[in-house]
């Protein structure tokens, strides 16, 4: 019965579709007049993504855009490299192979810089992004990002466990808007708070000293290995997850890091942030590239270490005042922090 009904429905639909006239596709961007107009537009202007406004573009004067790049690449953040592209990629390939990561032949290039337009700023500012989709360290950055993401979850769960019987918190890294919504509900509707103050960094990624960045990440990696009490962290690049293990389970799918090898790889990634600009190679000597896979986790951990150390000092000096809800209040009515 079902087969007969199914065949009848499909036959009816097919007959109606066959009676429809062919759709005349309007290929606007292929029209000669449109192609000519776009070519004239590109002669004087650049179309760039608009920051914090998906699927929107900004039109920027090409001369001004080139000058922006010139100023950025000649700032103290970057230094010209004496090595050429081939030798840098060969070095990256050798390092990946040494650490059990099979080098993908498609990732045979160095990233470049482009700018997004921050139209929500007054005056308008620009955010420089390192395009690293298919670069020589993409695989390493993805693997490190998975490990650090797993590490942040471990620290978050550990913080909840040790503070289970205290209304306090020493972990303030969030990965979704749910924590913000919960915070607002708790404070606005239940506690009667009517205002929230937020702060932002004007330049974070390109202002972090490498020596302090490495030190903070070193302390973080040591902490997560101590908490888990395991020998290795294993990440799967295909399934996009990482876990801790006592056995070295490296294979075609898994990349396995010990505590020391993960620290070594993180330092290598920080020290080998290269970009190509106007045919020349530059190395980023301050901060981390915005656009690399591990970048957001590295920046979060860098700041988290300062927060954690601050609260450890408060705990040890008995200056922490337990607070209601998920925010932490310290120092006799000091500021409240988003959990």
Q: Which residues pair with 280 in a beta bridge?
A: 277
Cα 293 from chain centroid?
5
What is the CA angle 320-325-328, rounded to 5?
A: 25
> Residue 275: which of 289, 295, 296, 264 has the closest Cα?
289
Sheet of strand 78-80: strand arrangement: 78-80, 280-284, 274-277, 112-118, 125-131
Judging by DSSP bridges, how do beta strands 254-258 and 274-277 pair with one another?
Answer: unpaired
* 94-138 per-position pLDDT tens digit: 999 999 898 988 888 999 999 999 998 889 999 999 986 789 999
Judge whether residue 40 has pLDDT over 70.
yes
Distance between CA 69 and CA 127 in Å, rounded? 11
Residue 46 parent element (H or E) = strand 45-49
DSSP state of 101: -
Cβ neighbours for 320, distance < 8 A, ≥ 6 positions apart: 168, 311, 314, 328, 330
At 203 the three-state DSSP class reads coil
* 313-336 per-position pLDDT tens digit: 888 777 655 543 333 333 333 333
More confident residue, 314 or 145: 145
Residue with tokens 């150390």: 309
Phi-psi region of 31 (alpha: psi -120 to 50; beta: other; left: phi over 0): beta
How sure is the predictor about 311, in pLDDT bands with cuts at 50, 70 and 90? confident
pLDDT value, residue 1: 67
């Amino acid at each position: 019965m079902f087969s007969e009904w199914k065949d009848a429905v499909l036959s009816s639909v097919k007959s109606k579709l066959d009676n429809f006239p062919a759709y005349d596709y309007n290929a606007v961007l292929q029209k000669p007049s449109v192609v000519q107009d776009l070519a004239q537009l590109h002669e004087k202007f650049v179309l760039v993504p608009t920051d914090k406004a998906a699927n929107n573009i900004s039109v920027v004067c090409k001369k001004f855009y080139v000058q922006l790049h010139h100023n950025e690449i000649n700032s103290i953040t970057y230094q010209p490299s004496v090595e050429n592209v081939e030798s840098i990629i060969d070095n990256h390939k050798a390092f990946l192979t040494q650490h059990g990561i099979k080098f993908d032949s498609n990732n045979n290039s160095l990233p470049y810089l482009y700018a997004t337009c921050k139209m929500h700023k007054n005056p308008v500012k620009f955010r420089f992004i390192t395009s690293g989709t298919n670069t020589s360290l993409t695989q390493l950055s993805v693997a490190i990002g998975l490990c650090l993401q797993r590490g942040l979850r471990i620290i978050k769960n550990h913080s909840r466990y040790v503070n289970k019987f205290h209304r306090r918190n020493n972990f303030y890294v969030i990965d979704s808007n749910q924590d913000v919504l919960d915070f607002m509900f708790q404070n606005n509707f239940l506690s009667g708070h009517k205002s929230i103050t937020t702060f932002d960094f004007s330049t974070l990624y390109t202002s972090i000293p490498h020596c302090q960045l490495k030190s903070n990440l070193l302390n973080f990696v040591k902490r997560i290995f101590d908490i888990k009490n395991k020998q290795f962290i294993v990440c799967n690049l295909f399934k996009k997850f990482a876990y801790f293990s006592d056995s070295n389970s490296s294979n075609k799918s898994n990349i396995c890091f010990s505590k020391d090898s993960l620290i070594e790889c993180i330092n290598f990634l920080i020290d080998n942030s290269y970009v190509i600009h106007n045919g020349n190679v530059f190395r980023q000597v301050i901060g981390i590239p915005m656009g690399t896979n591990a970048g957001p986790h590295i920046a979060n951990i860098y700041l988290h270490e300062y927060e954690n150390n601050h609260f450890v000092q408060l705990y040890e000096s008995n200056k922490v005042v337990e607070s209601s809800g998920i925010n932490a209040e310290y120092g006799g009515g000091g500021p409240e922090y988003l959990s």
